[in-house]
Structure 1
Amino acid sequence: MTSSDTAVQAPDYGFSHDLRVVKVVLQRDIFRFLHDVGRAVSMLFQGVMMLFVIGVGFGSLVPSAPGGADLTTVMFPGVITMVVIGTAMSSAASIVSDREFGFLREMLAAPARRIAIALGKVLAGALLATFQGCLILAMAGFAGIPYAPSLLLTLVGMMFLVALTTSALGVLIATAVKSIEAFMGVSQIAVMPLVLLSGALFPVGNLPAFLGAVTLVNPVTYAVDPMRQAVFAHVETTPETEALFNPGITWFSWQVPWTLEVAMVGGAGLVFLVLAVARFRRAEH
């Protein structure tokens, strides 16, 4: 018997095995989310508060033009984006808690490639965040937005893209921190300023020059703007209201097309996903 016959062969996990691992990780995170009713309800409640309390309250200070959209309509795409980003980041926090309780080490010791586990985590966060966003989307009629099938499909597609990008970013952050407190702190510092300075909660048409420059380099801006353009394409407004509430994004007087904005968000998501998978494979858990 030769040494090659007695050598222990390293397990060769095929594509079908990786898919099963992704499915198991995905199912576990979904069941975990469904059993954590408080987290789901709190995220939904925050979105409703943003949309109907802040939107109606501040909307009374900014009355809509005749035949135009009110502030609740303007805020709707931004509120969806905030809920999606918040849920995706919260889902990624499960990696940190799993590490603290030792469950992540058991997962990594299982016969599964780390890349499959990381992809399962990213996909779970994206699907859960999209589901939460759809709950807000169901309230579109209360914000004066029609339930047009083309609009709903566009918004759901954008929600999933934003959720996938944010979930990959969350997994990347989760592999670099050691405690849930550190993760929440880093995620708040990384995400909240970007959301607040993206025009999610207010129109960016009349911002001061320095804030306008910040919105141009803010990646979340390019997630909110295509959704807002899709909404305004299905809402009857005056040209004045359109110019104020939906000015679009311009680079040196060039109007950035929404297709390029979507491509930029998708490209950022791909970069975060590659970095998250690479970091997850190298990290010691």
Structure 2
Amino acid sequence: MSGSKTDFTVADGFAAAWMLARREWIRFFRQRNRVTAAILQPLLFWVLFGAGLKGSFSGAGELDFMQFFLPGTIALIVLFTAIFATISVIEDRREGFMQSVLVAPVGRWPVLFGKVIGGSAIAWVQAVVFLLLVYLFGTASIGWTLLPMLLLLALMAIAMCSLGMIVAWPMDSTQGFHAIMMLGLMPMWLLAGTFFPIPQIGEGSSTGQWILGGIMRANPLSYSMVELRRLLYPQIDFASLGFAPSPAICWMVTGVMALVTTAIAWWLMRGNRKVDVIV
């Protein structure tokens, strides 16, 4: 009897998580301006920055700036989606929907699971659509690296959405949420080798290069960018051009980033009960 009850509770929890994830999809497609901005804004950044800095960029082997900036643009799509997907937590709490979900007997994990999976799936699909546009432009070619690239994007999307949940869960202000996300996530994106190469440090390096290079190497997103750039352009030996850890290290760091951010988000949701009554 107890076993069947447990099975029912777990099954009911997955059903609740699925409904929350489905709700994120419905909300996303009903906001047409959000659908348009999610693709066009990063595409605009990529085209404008890529075309404007194409002639003045060097130092990435055979890549021009438009090709070098491509992984950063894809990461920007995932980042923006994480912001918009997790800000709904604050809106749901104000509308009373979140309180109704939290008192359900299935527990709290379906809320995290549904929000993260729903937001991550939206981010993943947007990144794939943008990637298809890139292939049409001829900036990159489709090869055997496509499947691992899709898996890497999924891990990045989960990590970013979980990070968004960490910020959104204890907050009651959408303005404060945007401020913290921009203060934290945008520097994280910029200091991941997305907009400029990670500087090499060694004998003769200045203090600024040591500080900047150390921060960028400590940024877990840097390793995702290295591997994403390697999968997009497998014909280039990035290890001979600068900071480029092995694929095993890049995958390990990306996976650990997704696990750690999700675990912290779960710990916050279980321990911080006072936010349940924020209105």
* TM-score when normalising by structure 2: 0.86
1:143-222 matches, within 5 Å, as 144-148=139-143, 150-205=144-199, 208-222=209-223
Q: Residues 19 and 54 (structure 1 numbering): CA distance in 2 closer, same or farther, change over 3 Å?
A: same
Give CA deviations for 1:81-104 in whole Å, capped at 9, x if unaligned: 111122122201110111122211
Check if 1:261 corresponds to 2:250: yes
Q: Which has the higher helix share?
A: 2
- For structure 2, the residue ranges without an aligned partner over 5 or more in a row are 202-208
Instruction: Quote the Cα distance in structure 1 between the aligned partners of 2:223 and 2:142.
Output: 23
**1:124 match:** 118
SS at match of 2:211: helix
Displacement after TM superposition at 1:260 (Å) = 1.4
Instruction: Quote the Cα distance in structure 2 between the aligned partners of 1:217 and 1:68.
Output: 27
Q: Residues 143 and 199 (structure 1 numbering): CA distance in 2 closer, same or farther, change over 3 Å?
A: farther
**1:280 match:** 269
Give CA deviations for 1:239-268 in whole Å, capped at 9, x if unaligned: 7x9855xx333xxxxxx3121121112112
1:48-63 matches, within 5 Å, as 48-62=43-57
Instruction: Quote the Cα distance in structure 1 between the aligned partners of 2:200 and 2:36.
Output: 35
Give CA deviations for 1:217-239 in whole Å, capped at 9, x if unaligned: 112111111101112214xx5x7
Displacement after TM superposition at 1:180 (Å) = 0.9
**2:38 match:** 43
Supply the RMSD in Å over aligned alpha carbons: 2.3
SS at match of 1:140: helix
Contact 1:88 1:128 in 2 (8 A): no
Give CA deviations for 1:194-226 in whole Å, capped at 9, x if unaligned: 111111122225683332122111121111111
Check if 1:114 corresponds to 2:108: yes
Contact 1:88 1:167 in 2 (8 A): yes
Q: Aligned residue pairs: how many?
A: 261
Check if 1:270 corresponds to 2:265: no
Instruction: Quote the Cα distance in structure 2 between the aligned partners of 1:151 and 1:140.
Output: 15
Contact 1:43 1:83 in 2 (8 A): yes
Instruction: Quote the Cα distance in structure 2 between the aligned partners of 1:51 and 1:68.
Output: 18
- For structure 1, the residue ranges without an aligned partner over 5 or more in a row are 1-10, 250-255
Instruction: Quote the Cα distance in structure 1 between the aligned partners of 2:79 and 2:247.
Output: 20
Farther-moved stretch of structure 1 (207-216 vs 32-41): 207-216
Displacement after TM superposition at 1:51 (Å) = 1.3
**2:11 match:** 16
**1:4 match:** none
